[in-house]
Amino acid sequence: MEKRENPLEYIIEHIPEVDLVGRIRVLGRWLFLGCLTGLIVGVIGTAFYYGVVWATAFRKGHDLIILALPFAGLFIVFMYRLCKDYEDRGTNLVIRSIQEGDNLPITKAPLIFISTVLTHLFGGSTGRESAALQMGGSLGYNLGKLFKLKEGNIKIITMCGMSAAFSALFGTPMTAAFMAMEIENVGVMYYSALVPCVISALTAQGIAKILGVSAEVFTVTIVPAFDVYNAVFTGILGILCAVVSVLFCQTLKFAGRNYKKFFPNPYVRVFVGGCIVVALTYLMGIRIDGSGFHYVQGIRYYNGAGMDVIEMAIKGEAPYMAFLFKIIFTALTLGAGYKGGEIVPSLYIGATFGCLYSQLFGFDPALCAAIGMGALFCGVTNCPISSLFICFELFGFKGMPYYLLAVALSYTFSGYSSLYSSQKIAYSKFHNKYVNRETK
């Protein structure tokens, strides 16, 4: 007996593209799948958001809990090995799934959910948005498998899941929709995924809003006229952010390589890494004055995601070397095998570096922090469109020329460095040439 084709697949594969009715049917199909993905991932993403918020609040109220970080790491490794997830590929696996159709096991979603909350609870220095990309990508991929979609359409619904999770967590649907399309192959945009990703991102944001999640919004009150002088200052900041983004990416990879070199056993690796993070955390609390050494209880600038430090940077109150210490803490945490993400740390690093730049040269700290966040985000992800959108959604459109220039320069001067080794550069950043090369 001839096998009947999946009705959802039939609609998109066999309806002529020139047929208006056919287009409406295809649109209806993606509206359904986009809304469904946004609904499911939005609910789970919101639960993840509240899990991280709870973990952060509990940690801040129980200072000594960080001493248990090495033991939390042992449990994280145990969970992953129990689920036979031996390769620590993280967001790279999601990117490879979109590029090559690699399998994304459904266990990836609960694993990254639980392990990220544990990492935040016990004081690891990590973010949450990259974890959301993994979680959303896994859910979207398996939803596509459930509906028996073909490989190309599974890739699209995987992007929908990524968009939905990012949007639910951060409240930035424009950034979420375009980042999912932009991140796999730099220079190539999968516009066939535009409608599904937009629908899933908006749906997930709406679900998160209904469930009480507030979008991240910061205020930049002083935006001077964009003249030659301010353009030069912005350009220099954008180029410096590109340099810092390369430093961040390479430090993460250096830490990961050397952890594995010196501690090949993942249990030993995560335990030692946890001990190092704990020791450095307490070291950061030591203060020296005329009467000698003192330990200041509760100094935790570099643990967790650090959204509070981003707010300090916007006010011009962040520690001078916060960007450098955050790079070190995040590399030591993620390299050891703890979970979370690199995106919020990159925003932290950009904001605090921008704050330092403003203090050195007398510019407005809020504007410099905003520029730094956008430029750093672009430098580490190679997603200039998404970087512009995140500036607009977090800070408003008022500083547009500043963000535009800084993001453009950071994209170019960061070269082929990236947080994600699976990311490919389709077109050269320096010439009108197809290169199809991997990132560094």
Whether residues 176 and 272 share a domain: the answer is no
Whether residues 122 and 241 share a domain: the answer is no
Q: What's the total number of domains in the chain?
A: 2
What CATH number does the domain containing 84 carry?
Answer: 1.10.3080.10
Whether residues 89 and 131 share a domain: the answer is yes
Whether residues 162 and 70 share a domain: the answer is yes
> What is the pLDDT, as a whole number, of residue 66?
94
Whether residues 74 and 165 share a domain: the answer is yes
Whether residues 378 and 321 share a domain: the answer is yes
Q: Mean pLDDT over residues 414-423, rounded?
A: 90
Look at residue 197 and tell me if it is in a domain: yes
Please state, in angstroms and rounded to a whole number, the distance separating the CA atoms of residues 119 and 158. 25
Look at residue 223 and tell me if it is in a domain: no
Look at residue 2 and tell me if it is in a domain: no
CA 301, 304, 308, 309 dihedral sign is positive
Q: Could you tell me the residue range of the domain that residue 305 belongs to?
A: 228-438
Q: Mean pLDDT over residues 305-328, rounded?
A: 94
CA 175, 420, 427, 238 dihedral sign is positive
Whether residues 136 and 264 share a domain: the answer is no
Tell me 258's DSSP state: H
> What is the pLDDT, as a whole number, of residue 293?
55
Look at residue 395 and tell me if it is in a domain: yes
The domain boundary residue, chosen from 147, 177, 210: 210
Whether residues 190 and 233 share a domain: the answer is no
Whether residues 165 and 312 share a domain: the answer is no
Within 64-150, where are the H helices?
69-82, 91-100, 108-121, 129-146
Q: Tens digit of pLDDT for each residue in 327-367?
A: 999 999 999 999 998 999 999 999 999 999 999 998 999 99
Terminal-residue alpha carbon distance, the chain: 51
Task: Identify which of 341, 331, 380 has the alpha carbon closest to the alpha carbon of residue 130.
Answer: 341
| One-letter amino acid for residue 104 of the chain | L
Whether residues 307 and 413 share a domain: the answer is yes
Look at residue 215 and tell me if it is in a domain: no
Whether residues 180 and 239 share a domain: the answer is no
What φ, ψ does residue 425 adopt, rounded to 5°?
-100, 105
Q: Tens digit of pLDDT for each residue in 273-290?
A: 999 999 999 988 765 555
> What is the pLDDT, as a whole number, of residue 1?
44
Residue 294 above 70 pLDDT? Answer: no
